[in-house]
Copies of this chain bind each other. A is one copy, B any other.
């Protein structure tokens, strides 16, 4: 569940997490546990690096469009708004997590320096079939006054030949194929409240003519699909169980 086995290159871990990797020799053996991207490799793996919450939210919007060649994997902007539980291991008795610090407050944090940025880039490069290090993401997480949920708004350049129709079709197909992805009819219909206490990711996208930008919006519950729910999903895949076993009603 930690960051140690999310990067194939242990140097990347050491640079972004600021500490020595205690089992660097194992990182190549571990598979990044995003079933929508690496399902087959997860099925035969004996070690999984379970994804971070923000990368899950970002990648589930980007994957279907990058794979279909509809958006560019460079200068992708990932703007995420999370509930307070999304602060990860920093969830502790710090002043910034007190009720009076969070209530009636929205703020950005770790702008351009969050360790989830290289995690997004690594999987994005795989999805796009380009070299690691060529995918390029600007990632800005924000904190909003709610307990859980992440809404991720992604701004990407359309690739040549991308049309609104083809963008919608790619997402629709992704939703039909993936057990925990629900394609919504519009970006406005993607909401953190709709995925609360579930392992679902809601996704949608719109092609904005002016500015020539694809806006992709996804919602996950960072404490389920963004954490333990996805870990259970990976276990299901590893052990040949139904992928949804135990996950269709995770409760709170």
Contact = CB atoms under 8 A, between A and B. Distances in A.
Interface stretch (A39-47, A141-149, A169-177, A228-236): A141-149
A89 interface: no
A231 B22 CA distance: 54
A187 interface: yes
Interface stretch (A23-31, A58-66, A211-219): A211-219
A214 B110 CA distance: 14
A100 B85 contact: yes
Interface in A179-238: 187-188, 190-193, 196-198, 206, 208-213, 215, 217
A132 interface: no
Contacts of A209: 112
B107 A213 contact: no
Interface stretch (A2-10, A74-82, A122-130): A74-82
B145 A145 contact: yes
Contacts of A137: 210-211
Contact of A104 (B106, B109, B146): B146
Contacts of A251: 197-198, 249-252
Interface of A: 75-77, 79, 81, 83-85, 91, 93-95, 97-112, 117, 136-138, 140, 142, 144-149, 151, 153, 155, 187-188, 190-193, 196-198, 206, 208-213, 215, 217, 249-252
